């Protein structure tokens, strides 16, 4: 009997090398766990019928000694990442029957490494949401407390990993969509530097913000996945060339900046207390904590909720009921467009499309969109300036613990506030890591997050491992 709860990528790899179990046996154990748990969690939308076949191919790699650290590791993949021949619906009815015609670059890289894809995971429709409740295919439940949300939009991947029905998982981030579910489910989530990991083959939400992001049970698992996926990809125009990724500034990585002014209000009392306790632990471990000011960052959420819907409005214009996906008949072309989009998109997707169309419309473009772009540049500049004086910026990951299913559905603004600490990293493109930092009196996970300069994921892994030691 394989103890799935205690497995990490390195432990599983060592066991596979030692012959304690095979890739097929490991995959079969996860498939058995999925059968038991997924009906309640709804983490997976589909289990791939070739999972055991993939495992057999991975076993051959161990036999001929070509196996790598990720060979045979069972992965859960978010439903907006293309896997050739499989449905990629992005959690939406409008793409319910869309089969990917090619592999995303990250999928190609994982296939080359010999991982096993267990299935595609539930998500907020087109990644629009913070709770995995806007999916056209039902809500996903948090494995720690099934009456609560797992976070979003990558909640299915987080629930699969936290529920021990996957050993590793991929999500995507536009604004906290991996870090927030990591916080709610007690996982490690990395939002890489924008352009570090290829976006080729990802169903776009906001092109200037989206980034493929790994989940891990611990920091090392997250690092292993990132190290494989981080490379220049000619298929992705936003992918940063290797020569521009080189880090020249050296640091002793001991100085942490805390922008207290960002969370004077709106943070749950228990979350604030846990954050202060985490700071004390870091001080005892030899880190210097300094107060910093990043005043424009308080406008991050406002800027994000103008830029993102504008990009959503543009990206989702292609789903018109004509070329692929869901189509509703009508007496003429305009009626097909209207009916297909009205029936194919859910409430939250329609809300953001309308908002984005509005801010891009004549007479409002300068008043909203252009102004938000200017604010974004200010935020990026002040964060870069802050990193001249500190090695990290530290905040809570989210202002609250996992909330009850249905609790915030009638109040979208309250739901959007989940992203208040996520937005600065996405708008500025810097990397950020979410780390478990204890449990509430109700047993719900707390989480803190570090930001580091562009392409300094190495610093995030370094401090993340140190924080795990002192926890």
Question: DSSP for 77-108?
Answer: EETTB--TTSB--TT-GGGTTPBPSS--HHHH
Eight-state DSSP code of residue 245: S
Q: Where are the alpha helices (DSSP H) in 230-299?
A: 269-284
Q: What share of the chain is helix, strand, coil (3-state, %, to 5)?
A: 45, 15, 40
Report d(CA 8, CA 60) in Å as an integer.
21
Report d(CA 249, CA 422) in Å as an integer.
25
Strand order in the sheet with 74-78: 44-47, 116-121, 74-78, 168-173, 211-216, 188-191, 432-439, 445-451, 392-396, 255-258, 288-291
- Residue tagged active-site, from 89, 131, 135, 153: 153
432 is annotated as an active-site residue:
no
112 is annotated as an active-site residue:
no
- Residue tagged active-site, from 37, 78, 93, 408: 78
Eight-state DSSP code of residue 298: G
Report d(CA 340, CA 330) in Å as an integer.
9
The H or E element spanning position 307 is helix 300-315
Report d(CA 312, CA 305) in Å as an integer.
11
78 is annotated as an active-site residue:
yes
- Residue tagged active-site, from 130, 131, 154, 177: 177
Sign of torsion, CA 14 19 23 27? negative
Question: Catalytic site residues?
Answer: 78, 153, 177
């Amino acid at each position: 009997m394989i103890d799935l709860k205690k497995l990490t990528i390195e432990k599983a790899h060592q066991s596979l090398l030692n012959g304690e179990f095979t890739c097929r046996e490991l995959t079969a154990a996860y498939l058995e766990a999925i059968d038991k748990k997924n009906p309640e969690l709804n983490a997976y939308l589909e289990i791939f019928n070739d999972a055991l076949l993939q495992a057999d191919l991975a076993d051959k790699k161990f036999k001929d000694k070509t196996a790598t650290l990720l060979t045979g590791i069972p992965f859960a993949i978010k439903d907006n990442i293309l896997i050739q021949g499989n449905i990629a619906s992005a959690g939406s009815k409008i793409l319910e029957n869309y089969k990917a015609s090619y592999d995303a670059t990250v999928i190609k890289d994982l296939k080359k490494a010999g991982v096993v894809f267990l299935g595609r995971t539930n998500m907020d429709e087109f990644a629009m949401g913070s709770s995995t409740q806007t999916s056209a295919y039902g809500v996903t439940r948090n494995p720690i407390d099934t009456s609560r949300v797992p976070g979003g939009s990558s909640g299915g991947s987080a629930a699969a990993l936290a529920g021990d029905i996957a050993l590793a998982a991929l999500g995507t981030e536009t604004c906290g969509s991996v870090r927030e579910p990591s916080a709610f489910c007690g996982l490690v989530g990395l939002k890489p530097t924008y352009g570090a990991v290829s976006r080729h083959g990802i169903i776009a939400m906001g092109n200037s913000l989206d980034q493929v992001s790994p989940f891990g049970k611990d920091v090392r698992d997250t690092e292993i996945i990132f190290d494989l996926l981080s490379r220049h990809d000619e298929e992705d125009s936003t992918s940063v060339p290797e020569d521009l990724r080189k880090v020249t500034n050296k640091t002793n990585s001991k100085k942490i900046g805390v922008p207290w002014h960002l969370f004077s209000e709106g943070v749950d009392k228990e979350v604030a207390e846990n954050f202060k306790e985490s700071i004390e632990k870091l001080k005892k471990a030899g880190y210097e904590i300094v107060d910093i000011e990043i005043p424009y960052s308080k406008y991050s959420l406002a800027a994000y909720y103008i830029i993102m819907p504008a990009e959503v409005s543009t990206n989702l214009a292609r789903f018109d009921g004509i070329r692929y996906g869901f189509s509703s008949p009508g007496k003429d072309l305009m009626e097909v467009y209207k009916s297909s989009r009205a029936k194919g998109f859910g409430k939250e997707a329609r809300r953001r499309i309308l908002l984005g169309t509005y801010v891009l419309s004549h007479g409002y473009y300068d008043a909203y969109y252009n102004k938000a772009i200017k604010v974004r540049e200010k935020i990026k500049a002040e964060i870069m300036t802050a990193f001249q004086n500190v090695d990290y910026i530290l905040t809570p990951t989210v202002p609250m613990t996992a909330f009850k299913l249905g609790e915030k559905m009638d109040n979208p603004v309250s739901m959007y506030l989940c992203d208040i600490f996520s937005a600065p990293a996405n708008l500025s493109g810097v990397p950020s890591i979410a780390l478990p930092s204890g449990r509430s009196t109700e047993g719900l996970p707390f989480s803190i997050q570090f930001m580091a300069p562009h392409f300094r994921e190495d610093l995030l892994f370094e401090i993340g491992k140190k924080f795990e030691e002192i926890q």
